[in-house]
Amino acid sequence: MSSYRQRLLHAHLAPGMTWRALQRLHADTPRLERYSDYSPDELVHLTGCHSKTARVWYTYWKSTSIVEQMRNMEEAGITAITKDDPAYPWRLKQMPDPPWVIYCKGDVSLCKEETLAVIGTRKPSNYGIRATEELLPPVIQSGRVIVSGLARGIDTIAHRRAILAKGKTVAVIAGGFFHIYPRENKALAETLAQNHLLISEYPPGRRPQKWHFPERNRIISALSDRLFVVEAGERSGTLITVDQALEQGRDVCALPGTIYSETSMGTNRLIEQGAAIVLRPSDL
């Protein structure tokens, strides 16, 4: 007899499974007792998914063993934590749409510590790089865990600065662990998995998709006590994370910049709208 945790994991691991589809499956059978017994037509009716997707789910559930899948994840150093697990990060439970499952590599207890999320452009200026490298070390040495998204630019600098300052850092990624993006950060991701923490709401085999990044950003903001925006253009995707942080009741602070820099337009505008200005480490 399978447990609810096993049923939830098996349902979630199905290729293309979504948060909304899982929610609708739960609405029909709260403990997912019937998840693998639905016909493709029933799945279409219940979840609103495409018929092709329903057939993929049906075939996956009938042809795979969750016990074997869990063993494979364990061998790869991956821990799957469901929403009802005591180890599930308490900050994520406060979200309006907490992930049903999070997949982790590394030290999950870092999510319990005081945290600072650091985000910004993928193409930082020399000023943005210098400010990140100089402002963060005192904050890291005070014990704050740095949370970011493993993206190029500011994210990468923040993770590396945490490591250099002998602190801790958490990376929330936008795909499964078997498809680290960007590829040049694969070695960094391995370091984080061994000594820090990697988190994803996507199964290990899921390739990152364009819409995963804004979904990932809501987890970055949820895991943070405070959000620090280093550099962002006026129409930057970084500002989506700011909106999510504000909805979640998080403090937002920003690095001011020259009015002649495109990458400071977004942060200057945030300060104009009420974000705290960061001039020195103590402001963080």
CATH for 118: 3.40.50.450
Per residue, what are the HEC states of 16-30?
CCCHHHHHHHHHHCC
Is residue 86 included in any domain, yes or no?
A: no
- Verify that 163 and 210 share a domain, yes or no: yes
Residue 1: per-residue pLDDT: 58
User: In the chain, what are the helix, strand and coil shares in percent, each to the nearest 5?
Assistant: 50, 15, 40
The Cα–Cα gap between 71 and 204 comes to 13
- Verify that 172 and 276 share a domain, yes or no: yes
Residue 240: per-residue pLDDT: 83
Longest CA–CA span in the chain (Å) reads: 64
What are the two backbone dihedrals, phi and then psi, of residue 188, each rounded to the nearest 5 degrees?
-65, -45
Domain boundary among 57, 75, 93: 75
Is residue 9 included in any domain, yes or no?
A: yes
- Verify that 52 and 131 share a domain, yes or no: no
Look up the domain containing 237 and give its range.
Answer: 108-283
| Beta-sheet pairing, 197-200 with 101-106 | antiparallel
Q: Which residues contact 61 (CB under 8 A, 6 or more apart)?
A: 10, 11, 14, 35, 36
Q: What is the tally of structural domains in the chain?
A: 2
- Verify that 164 and 269 share a domain, yes or no: yes
Residue 235: per-residue pLDDT: 80
Is residue 102 included in any domain, yes or no?
A: no
Is residue 155 included in any domain, yes or no?
A: yes
- Verify that 147 and 272 share a domain, yes or no: yes
What are the two backbone dihedrals, phi and then psi, of residue 146, each rounded to the nearest 5 degrees?
-90, 125
- Verify that 238 and 124 share a domain, yes or no: yes
Is residue 244 included in any domain, yes or no?
A: yes
Q: Each residue of 176-201: b (16+ CB within 10 Å) or e?
A: bbebbbeeebeebbebbbeebbbbbb
Is residue 84 included in any domain, yes or no?
A: no
- Verify that 251 and 122 share a domain, yes or no: yes
Is residue 165 included in any domain, yes or no?
A: yes
The Cα–Cα gap between 111 and 79 comes to 14
Consecutive 10-residue runs of the chain (284 residues): their mean pLDDT?
90 94 93 94 95 96 94 95 94 92 97 96 96 97 97 97 98 96 96 97 94 92 96 84 88 96 94 95 95
- Verify that 56 and 118 share a domain, yes or no: no
Residue located via tokens 């510590």 = 113
Closest C-alpha among 74, 69, 42 to residue 58:
42
| Beta-sheet pairing, 226-229 with 115-119 | parallel
Residue 96: per-residue pLDDT: 86
Q: pTM (2 decimals)?
A: 0.93
Is residue 89 included in any domain, yes or no?
A: no
- Verify that 165 and 59 share a domain, yes or no: no
Per residue, what are the HEC states of 125-185?
CHHHHHHHHHHHHHHHHCCCEEEECCCCCHHHHHHHHHHHCCCCEEEECCCCCCCCCCHHH
- Verify that 147 and 54 share a domain, yes or no: no
- Verify that 228 and 112 share a domain, yes or no: yes
- Verify that 114 and 71 share a domain, yes or no: no
